[in-house]
Amino acid sequence: ILVEDRGASYVLAKLTEAGYEAYLVGGCVRDAVLDRPIKDIDIATSALPEQVIACFPRTAPTGLQHGTVTVILQQGTYEVTTFRKEAEYEGFRRPASVAYISDLTEDLKRRDFTMNAMAMDGDGVVVDPFAGQKDLALGVLRCVGKAEERFGEDALRMLRCIRFASTYELQVEESTWQALLAQAPLLRHIAMERVRSELQRMIDGPAPARAVRLLLASRLTAHLKKQLPLPFERWLAWDDALDAVSALEGQHDRWAMLLMLLEVPADVIRTALQELTFSRADGDAVWAVLALREAVAATHSDPAPLERVWKLGAVRSGEAAARALLRLLRVLQPYAGQRGELALFLDTAAPELVRRGEAWLSEIPCFSLKHLAISGKDLASELGLQPGPEMGKLLEHLLERTTLGEIPNEREILLQAARAAK
Ligand code: ATP
Ligand code: MG
């Protein structure tokens, strides 16, 4: 096995020539062993940070407190970290202090899973004291050392466990899994940002359904730092539909579908996404889809109001949300069955929307006031209106009428309609 990266080879060679030990470590070795594309390259060395700095013309002290120096080359940047062991863990997350050591095996020992605890030298020789390659060959994810202790030191590892098990399609080794079940309550010590980041990577990964099933089985979601008002166990009732999530591309569609299956009001979802520290943009994109679904669901089967509610809702929630909802419904429709309000929606309004929703969208001349053929300025100059809530309402009224196809989006006609409505 070889990592074909000239920059990395150069860094390893330079450190070795200077008399230090240096290895590729962590995820890049794992991915090389699996013959998967390599993301970031991490290097571990016996050289102390100042010795690393002395070996290269350009470096940045990115993580000196952890012994990490970033080496800057034309080929890219490389994180070089001095062999270390983690002295004490504090607050069930990250060690309170680090101690530099000269032994690679000790450094590998502090790492979370056997597959992440391998190193490779510049000649492609793999150092694998915890049999990570064997576990990978067996398709097994196993903690380095005593799993219960390792999850106790750093509770985030439990979420990493589920992420790796799902994205790499691995079986969690039995004692590792038992330890995870036992230590699950410790997750409450982990900041929601970290939880959210792991969850996003799971759901955005190649096997979101497997991640959801493992999460449910682990009961980790019952032990978040902030209790979320989300009945995650409802996913069990939609178990067959979970597999369809991977048919959706992009995390917004996937989250929208998973959260839709929980069948709680869109506003509750919005608050939960905030508690999970989703960015405003991510949160709103997901929420808008659910809000639109909720608005449309009120109509059930009558196609006449459905068209109206769909068009008005699409303008309110935005074209992106409307198209996302159609993608979700296409994927979800086969899974209706006897499962409450959402299932009823899938049986009634959804087929009509899947059939006609897109055509209805293409009939909408403009999705926002910005694209309306008249503005507040026109209303001021032509009708003598003052800017203010009245004017806002009038513009909304005009947008609604163009949305419903009652009048075209043309300046003269809109002015006429404005005069009539005033
Ligand atoms: P990916 O980048 O795909 O998430 P990775 O294995 O590279 O996978 P990183 O978070 O980049 O994960 O960490 C690099 C390495 O550092 C890991 O391979 C592992 O050896 C070690 N590591 C990271 N986080 C932890 C942790 N919480 N506990 C123990 N070791 C860890
Ligand atoms: Mg990495």
Q: Which of 267, 270, 265, 240 minimizes the C-alpha distance to 255? A: 270
Would the CB of 299 count as within 6 Å of ligand 1? Answer: no
Do domains 1-132 and 139-225 share one topology? The answer is no
Would the CB of 42 count as within 6 Å of ligand 1? Answer: yes
d(CA 80, CA 83): 10
| Predicted pLDDT of residue 349 | 87
Ligand lying closest to the C-alpha of residue 92? 1
φ/ψ of residue 236, rounded to 5: -60, -40
Question: Is the Cβ–Cβ distance between 113 and 25 less than 8 Å?
Answer: no
Would the CB of 198 count as within 6 Å of ligand 1? Answer: no
| Predicted pLDDT of residue 343 | 84
CATH topology of domain 139-225: Hydrophobic Seed Protein (1.10.110)
| Predicted pLDDT of residue 143 | 98
Range with lowest mean pLDDT among 85-99, 147-161, 255-269: 85-99
Kindly tell me if the per-residue pLDDT of 315 is higher than 90.
yes
Runs of H (alpha helix) within 27-173: 27-33, 49-55, 104-109, 132-138, 147-153, 156-167
d(CA 207, CA 202): 7
Those residues with Cβ within 8 angstroms of residue 126's Cβ, 6 or more apart along the chain or in another chain: 1, 29, 33, 118, 119, 120, 133
Residue 299 CA to ligand 2 centre (angstroms): 48
One-letter amino acid of 403: T
| Predicted pLDDT of residue 301 | 58
Residue 275 CA to ligand 1 centre (angstroms): 25
Runs of H (alpha helix) within 298-410: 303-317, 319-332, 341-347, 349-363, 376-383, 389-403
Kindly tell me if the per-residue pLDDT of 412 is higher than 70.
yes
Residue for token pair 């608050």: 271
Q: pLDDT category, 422, cuts 50, 70, 90?
A: confident
Residue 244 CA to ligand 1 centre (angstroms): 29
Ligand lying closest to the C-alpha of residue 31? 1
Q: Any idea where the domains of the chain sit in the sequence?
A: 1-132, 139-225, 251-363, 369-421
Return the bridge partners of 24, or none.
43, 120
Q: What is the ipTM of this complex?
A: 0.98
Would the CB of 39 count as within 6 Å of ligand 1? Answer: yes
Q: Which of 57, 61, 106, 56 minimizes the C-alpha distance to 85? A: 106
| Predicted pLDDT of residue 138 | 97
Looking at domain 1-132, its CATH class is alpha beta
Mean pLDDT across the chain: 94
Write the pLDDT tens digit of every residue in 138-180. Answer: 999 999 999 999 999 999 999 999 999 999 999 999 999 999 9
Those residues with Cβ within 8 angstroms of residue 51's Cβ, 6 or more apart along the chain or in another chain: 18, 20
- Pairing state between β 42-45 and 76-82: parallel
